Structure 1
Amino acid sequence: MSNLNLLELLDYIDPTQLTYQEWIDVGFALKSENYTASDWDDWSKRDNTRYRPGECFKKWTSFEGSGITGATITKMAKDNGWTSPRNTESHELDWNDEISLDEDYKIIDKNWIEGKEIIEPVNWNPVREITRYLETLFQSTEHVGYVTETYEIIDDKTGDKIYKPTSGASDRTAGQLIEALNKCDGDIGAVLGDYKEEAGAWIRFNPLDGKGVKNDNVSDYRYTLVESDNMDIEKQNAIMRELELPIAILVHSGKRSIHAIVKVDAGNYEEYRKRVDYLYNVCKKNGLNVDNQNRNPSRLSRLPGIVRNGKKQFIIDTHIGKSDWDEWHEWIEDLNDDLPDMECLEDFYDNLPELAPPLIEGLLRQGHKMLMAGPSKAGKSFALIELAIAIAEGAKWLNWKCTQGHVLYVNLELDRASALHRFKDVYAGLGLQPRNIRNIDIWNLRGKSVPMDKLAPKLIRRAHKKGYIAVIIDPIYKVLTGDENSADQMAHFTNQFDKIATELGSSVIYCHHHSKGTQGGKKSMDRASGSGVFARDPDALIDLVELDITDDLIKQQEGSVATTLYANAIQKTNYDYFDEHVGLDDQQSVSQMNTHAKRVLTAKQLEQVENEITNAIQSIRMRSAWRVEGTLREYPKFEPVNMWFQYPVHKVDETGFLKDIKPEGDTPPWKKNFDKKKTPAESKQERKVALETAFDACGIEEKITVKAMAEYMGIAEKTVRNRIKEHGGFWVADGEVGRK
């Protein structure tokens, strides 16, 4: 088992809600994790009805070899709202971890808030106190649970006598109790039963069904209890009021805490649990350490109008804060959304703000986000290093001119030495002089990376005032938090890039991998692995897809390089011979150019040119061909850029050799085996599958249109409409397509 403190987890488990076997399982689990029988006994005392002194110690000796571990307690605690703490410095999130920010929902600072005085009532009327409580929380026909009877136990640690409540009664309605109280002439014991002043009395704040007092007997999940007994009582009062908690009634416990009965207005138990978790979370973020044992809807609270050890249990106030849960929840969310005010277009139409200047001309503006996607062998990291160098030097990156400025490269994958060597190798491969390398900062985080929601604030803090116009993060899988196929979790993940861009005023550029399989038949925005958020989030999506270079094309290139090198050597040595004897047909033949070279060149010159040809052919065989496509938000769509990746750099194909070559897997799935002869039924089924495939593929867009499906399928829009009509499972309206 981990180093979790299981005794803290037991605060989330109410023994009164467990079956006998579940109670026994907790004992087994504690013993297997080397806790003591006293630990089990202390926790078991919370079950006022079933607890028997000494029973835990008797059973403890027989607990051997059950196989039950602390994981049982962890599971029970999680089921009751406990969440696992994280190491904020180095813990990488598990798929099931909650993603949250420490500052979320923090409204007040308890260290700067003054306590609010609580005044004990002078003209105290116990009957009126109880009646007011019942009238505030219950309808007249609802059953009320209350407890006046207690039993005694001895605290093992202090030796003090402790009074514990029994399960109490729940057989009368609020109306019946109020009627009886009004007739009792001040003798509340005649109505509720006599109570010990040393103990006080209790009441359940949610209505019951009249058949019992457990969670299952709660008839309306209307309220929850907020109590904190480890801070100054006047400070508790002040924080509850500052938080505008929708408190129905606030009661002094007669000791060191106040009981706030808070409106949660839940429709069922599941919603009740979620709302209480949310409420407790807000309270804790604002310095009110709420007692987790009070989560249960059938929980007992202190009954006003009762004396406890000479101290009054009394009503402090009613109907405090927001009027109901919805109003309070909306207020809390509004305080934490950090959203700008709405603006009227008329105010700015003739005086529009300046657009952000370009970072990469025709591609990306400063302060915006760009995603580069591609398969593992595309050299994405090299391309991003090339981009960092281009920004630092104010040079071209592939086909696009870059604005010169200071750039941060966040290296998450390479060791420090490899990263530094790679930058120098790329400079050399590009043929650029490192005149402005002072513009490049590298943050080497291999082995030290943390989840993105933790890295972002650290990056912002360190990069503040550095003046970066671009931050490049490579690669994102190292800091990915959550399931990449979850739109909700990936939206939270990519929001961290917005925070970096906003706080630093710099562009954020990051790379991601393709999903498995060939990608040529897909649109550029469909190729990145995981949720469609990756396609929709960036302002520019640059996608790399490999081109299918056949052996014949490679041989053609090898021949072209060989003939060119022979021609250059012959021209340099004897231009007159070249001009007179080497025809255009000869220049297309390696064997003919070799013959001419042997006639003109010396043995040493011939050896030198043949070594150059061998090296060039080796380079051709080692390089790969790629096509750069993209989806842009701020600029018009660009023509695909074809390039070669020859370690360690990419170079644009200026010859046009790659222009007509198709990407790997360019044939869509629905077109495969199209040339095979099919029956009419098979053809109809194929058209159906093709239509459904196109519809699903275009689903990355906010709206699926006839035009988009036609582009995907490579057919006319009219044909798409005819196939939709034939299919019968889709509808078309104003060019938009939907599934029936």
Structure 2
Amino acid sequence: MEQHTDLQEIIEYLNPSELDYQDWVNVGMALKHEGYSVEVWDAWSKNDHRYHAGECEKKWNTFHGSNSPVTAGTIVQLAMDHGWKPSYTAYELGWDDEISAEGVVVDCSWVEGKEIHEPRNWNPVNEIIRYLETLFDPSENVGYVTGSWERTDEKGTKYLPQKGCWDRTAGQLIEALNGCNGDVGAVLGDYKEEAGAWIRFNPLDGKGCKGENVTEFRYALVESDAMDLEQQNAIIRELELPVACLVFSGKKSLHAIVRVEATDYKEYQKRVEYLYDICKKNGLIIDTQNKNPSRLSRLPGVMRAGKKQYIIDTNIGKNSWQEWYEWIESVNDDLPDTESLENVWNDLPELAPPLIENVLRQGHKMLIAGPSKAGKSFALIELCIAIAEGRRWFSWNCSQGRVLYVNLELDRASCLHRFKDVYEALGWSARNLSNIDIWNLRGKSIPMDKLAPKLIRRAAKKNYMAIIIDPIYKVITGDENSADQMANFCNQFDKVCTELGCAVIYCHHHSKGSQGGKRSMDRASGSGVFARDPDAMLDLIELDVTDDLRKQEQNKTVCAACQRYLDSHFEWEDDLSQDDLCSQVQMMSYCKEHLSPMQMRELQEHIDADLAVANTKTAWRIDGTLREFPKFKPVNLWFDYPIHHTDQSGVLDDIQPEDEKPNWKKGLEARKKQGESQRKNKQAKVDMAIESFKFEHHDTYPTVKELYEQIKSSSEAVGEKYPAEKTLWNSLKKYGYTTDKETKRIIPLP
């Protein structure tokens, strides 16, 4: 069965005369969006007594599409609201179509109509006073209309309201009504009994009756004239709408004045949209043209075409908007039922298999946190590749599978080049590139609550084992220091995990300032929810590479460069001890003995290049907070751009991160560095003074006294302190010098 035939059958179920103008337009927009012709909409619209030839085509030409188009789902929902039940083969909805059970409280097929009863002792004055006292404070201005005018067309005669009055308060009207002896017209003005009278349900400023004249956005109008009165009454009550006043219009509709209690017009719009949506989902076919806060409603206490306009009830349903809203939201919570542990004790479900050995299970969440320059993005790219290839990531084995990398920060070219650079630096063959998908969203990222459904739609049926989002600050919604807002944000990751059955891995930055004294799980910026929400959190913190440690790494770099060069350029015998192979002095000496000068120059170029890279390496430690596995021993890494290497030698084990050192140790190290700096400065002054003297005296070394005079002269010139001559005598050996016994001149120590 073709799609067009299916939708045409569905709209034939709808009676256009029962729809309001907006629903009629929505049907047209949905038909055009789905590829139908205007003739389909026009032929269907002819069943409405309001039909005008040519109107469909004129309106059709104004439908140009939008970023949020009206789709086939709108037609399907309208039909279901009117009792249509789809067969399983009738129509397949697209990804962007939505039919939700959220907010459904009333099953219309089981609702019995609730009769309304005309008041036996109807008192027009009391009706109006009761209405005013229910909706308004005495000091608030009330807008009302008793004058009307007639409009006649092919559909008949209709009475429409004039502008009316708005310059009197509720208190003034009540006082006048109490003294009018039943003559309502003497207070409000005479009205035509064929037309009835109207009143505005929100207070005005006394200067007009438009939307800008509304002073309190207190109530909204819910009106339905396409259903039986008894059914309207029943659904309004079943929905427990917070109705302040329920009025019979005197014709075929009830007017429910519903509390929305908005603080401003923007909030009023949102709440009315929500209210109308819930009414629609629960089968209450309402007039959606009543959204204006200055809209007129029917005034009780007057006649209309031989029938009374009267109050049916006041203060029914929930007491406030907030109470009703919370109730609606709780009815369809989609939460699972409780279960007895006894029933599953002997048949426990299987645990999800590990994705990262001893760290993270499949279908779970993991956060990587760290400061800038920690190479977090490179670490995540390494993880993508490890999962795709089924290899080790740092010190953990990874299960093999498909992975999606959501790139929010890098431009497309940079991102793709990074993947290739990391592959080459790891030295792995790119055998499973088809396991890696990349979604480049730089400049196009949206808040996570909007991104999650789009991500789910694109990732469905791809069988991803993991989705990696880098970084999350680009998609954070709300204040990252707010626990409740960040809990809602993190819930989006749960939706992705649940809907797709895959792990979600994301990274975040450390908060500003010192991290000293904080546990690893508390270093991530913002609310503590970030650390407590994921099933695994890995925290990167930098290690302080000391001068001694840096020299060790330089020694290793030189030794490795020598061995590589000898292996590739020289057939050398293994005539060096293990200690010699680990000594740059011995290795360089061996190379000088066995290589030509040209080869030595080439080797030195390699060494210089390797040292330049080695000197930029940074050291890091990964600590973990795990929910599913025991805590692991911290893993030490070298970040050697563009990849991380685990520290196999153990030289990083004893280093304490700067921020984790106690204050006494920081002070001790600071004093030690200061002392070393001062010693180097003194050494430099002595060396400079000796060289200056030698330059002036034809390469002759000075005596101690001459050296003292040289240092004294240069120090006084710049206003610096200088040592005493005796101190200089006592410190010669410390500076690397002694005196010649014969000449008494200073000479370097042998």
Normalised by the length of structure 1, the TM-score is 0.62
- Cα pair 1:116 1:237 within 8 Å, conserved: no
Q: Residue by residue, what CA displacement relative to the aligned partner does 1:460-500 show, whole Å, maximum 9, x if unpaired? A: 11111111111111122222223322323322222111110
Separation (CA, whole Å) in 2 of partners of 1:223 and 1:161: 23
SS in structure 2 at match of 1:661: coil
Q: 1:381 aligns with which of 377, 382, 385?
A: 377
Instruction: Using the TM superposition, give the Cα deviation of residue 670 of structure 1 relative to its aligned residue in structure 2, in angstroms.
Output: 9.8
Cα separation, partners in 2 of 1:590 and 1:675, compared to 1, 3 Å? closer
1:165 aligns with 2:158: no
1:415 aligns with 2:411: yes
Match of 1:282 in 2: 275
Q: Residue by residue, what CA displacement relative to the aligned partner does 1:496-540 show, whole Å, maximum 9, x if unpaired? A: 111100100000011112222343653222222222221122111
Instruction: Using the TM superposition, give the Cα deviation of residue 562 of structure 1 relative to its aligned residue in structure 2, in angstroms.
Output: 2.1
Where in structure 2 are the equivalents of 1:118-129 lying within 5 Å? 127=122
- Cα pair 2:173 2:187 within 8 Å, conserved: no
SS in structure 2 at match of 1:376: coil
Separation (CA, whole Å) in 2 of partners of 1:557 and 1:130: 97
- Cα pair 2:147 2:161 within 8 Å, conserved: no
- Cα pair 1:406 1:467 within 8 Å, conserved: yes
Separation (CA, whole Å) in 1 of partners of 2:574 and 2:232: 101
Where in structure 2 are the equivalents of 1:393-432 lying within 5 Å? 393-432=389-428
Separation (CA, whole Å) in 2 of partners of 1:147 and 1:421: 68
More off after superposition, 523-532 vs 626-635:
523-532
Match of 1:513 in 2: 509
Instruction: Using the TM superposition, give the Cα deviation of residue 248 of structure 1 relative to its aligned residue in structure 2, in angstroms.
Output: 5.3
AA at the equivalent of 2:165: P
AA at the equivalent of 1:465: K
Separation (CA, whole Å) in 1 of partners of 2:472 and 2:145: 62
Instruction: Using the TM superposition, give the Cα deviation of residue 349 of structure 1 relative to its aligned residue in structure 2, in angstroms.
Output: 3.5
Match of 2:592 in 1: 598
- Cα pair 2:177 2:184 within 8 Å, conserved: no
Separation (CA, whole Å) in 2 of partners of 1:443 and 1:601: 52
Separation (CA, whole Å) in 2 of partners of 1:433 and 1:422: 15
Separation (CA, whole Å) in 2 of partners of 1:393 and 1:259: 66
- Cα pair 2:221 2:291 within 8 Å, conserved: no
Separation (CA, whole Å) in 1 of partners of 2:514 and 2:188: 78
SS in structure 2 at match of 1:628: strand
SS in structure 2 at match of 1:509: strand
Match of 1:195 in 2: 190
SS in structure 2 at match of 1:426: helix
Q: 1:578 aligns with which of 566, 576, 579?
A: 576
- Structure number with the bigger relative contact order (C-alpha 8 A, sep ≥ 6) is 1
1:226 aligns with 2:225: no
AA at the equivalent of 1:415: D
Q: 2:620 aligns with which of 626, 642, 661?
A: 626
Q: Residue by residue, what CA displacement relative to the aligned partner does 1:355-380 show, whole Å, maximum 9, x if unpaired? A: 21111111111111111112221221
Separation (CA, whole Å) in 2 of partners of 1:407 and 1:484: 27
Structure having the higher Rg: 2
Match of 2:341 in 1: 345
Separation (CA, whole Å) in 1 of partners of 2:510 and 2:626: 18
AA at the equivalent of 2:646: V
Where in structure 2 are the equivalents of 1:177-576 lying within 5 Å? 187=182, 189=184, 195-197=190-192, 200-201=196-197, 224-228=219-223, 240=236, 243-247=239-243, 249-254=245-250, 258-262=254-258, 278=271, 281-284=274-277, 286-287=279-280, 288=286, 289=288, 291-294=290-293, 302-308=298-304, 312-315=308-311, 328-519=324-515, 521-563=517-559, 565-566=561-562, 573-575=571-573
- Cα pair 1:483 1:489 within 8 Å, conserved: yes
Match of 1:654 in 2: 648
Cα separation, partners in 2 of 1:116 and 1:553, compared to 1, 3 Å? same
AA at the equivalent of 1:283: Y
Separation (CA, whole Å) in 2 of partners of 1:240 and 1:407: 50
Cα separation, partners in 2 of 1:363 and 1:119, compared to 1, 3 Å? closer
Q: Residue by residue, what CA displacement relative to the aligned partner does 1:644-680 show, whole Å, maximum 9, x if unpaired? A: 1112211111111211223244346798659999xxx
SS in structure 1 at match of 2:466: strand
Cα separation, partners in 2 of 1:367 and 1:308, compared to 1, 3 Å? same
Q: Residue by residue, what CA displacement relative to the aligned partner does 1:167-193 show, whole Å, maximum 9, x if unpaired? A: 456459999989x99xx7xx5549967
Q: Residue by residue, what CA displacement relative to the aligned partner does 1:197-218 show, whole Å, maximum 9, x if unpaired? A: 367456788999xxxx9xxxx9
Cα separation, partners in 2 of 1:87 and 1:516, compared to 1, 3 Å? farther
SS in structure 2 at match of 1:656: coil
Instruction: Using the TM superposition, give the Cα deviation of residue 422 of structure 1 relative to its aligned residue in structure 2, in angstroms.
Output: 2.0
Cα separation, partners in 2 of 1:168 and 1:236, compared to 1, 3 Å? farther
- Cα pair 2:217 2:264 within 8 Å, conserved: no
AA at the equivalent of 1:197: K
SS in structure 1 at match of 2:468: strand
Separation (CA, whole Å) in 1 of partners of 2:160 and 2:245: 32
Q: Residue by residue, what CA displacement relative to the aligned partner does 1:245-303 show, whole Å, maximum 9, x if unpaired? A: 14354213347864213467x8xx969997996466332455453744438xxx98533
Separation (CA, whole Å) in 1 of partners of 2:657 and 2:99: 47
Separation (CA, whole Å) in 1 of partners of 2:501 and 2:340: 25
AA at the equivalent of 1:165: C
SS in structure 2 at match of 1:418: helix
Taking only the aligned residue pairs, the percentage that are identical comes to 51
Instruction: Using the TM superposition, give the Cα deviation of residue 229 of structure 1 relative to its aligned residue in structure 2, in angstroms.
Output: 8.0
Cα separation, partners in 2 of 1:105 and 1:325, compared to 1, 3 Å? farther
More off after superposition, 409-418 vs 249-258:
249-258
Separation (CA, whole Å) in 2 of partners of 1:196 and 1:495: 57
RMSD: 5.1
Match of 1:710 in 2: none
AA at the equivalent of 1:433: S
Where in structure 2 are the equivalents of 1:106-121 lying within 5 Å? 106-107=102-103
Match of 1:708 in 2: none
Cα separation, partners in 2 of 1:467 and 1:675, compared to 1, 3 Å? closer
Instruction: Using the TM superposition, give the Cα deviation of residue 405 of structure 1 relative to its aligned residue in structure 2, in angstroms.
Output: 1.1
- Cα pair 1:629 1:640 within 8 Å, conserved: yes
AA at the equivalent of 1:614: D
AA at the equivalent of 2:162: I
Q: Residue by residue, what CA displacement relative to the aligned partner does 1:410-457 show, whole Å, maximum 9, x if unpaired? A: 122223333222222211211211222221112222233222211111
- Cα pair 2:248 2:311 within 8 Å, conserved: yes
AA at the equivalent of 1:164: G
SS in structure 2 at match of 1:409: strand
SS in structure 1 at match of 2:122: helix
AA at the equivalent of 1:476: I
The count of residues paired between Structure 1 and Structure 2 equals 556
AA at the equivalent of 2:191: K
- Cα pair 1:452 1:479 within 8 Å, conserved: yes
Q: Which runs of 5+ in 2 are unaligned?
A: 1-65, 70-96, 152-157, 281-285, 672-750
Separation (CA, whole Å) in 1 of partners of 2:522 and 2:162: 66
SS in structure 2 at match of 1:383: helix
Cα separation, partners in 2 of 1:88 and 1:650, compared to 1, 3 Å? farther
Instruction: Using the TM superposition, give the Cα deviation of residue 398 of structure 1 relative to its aligned residue in structure 2, in angstroms.
Output: 0.5
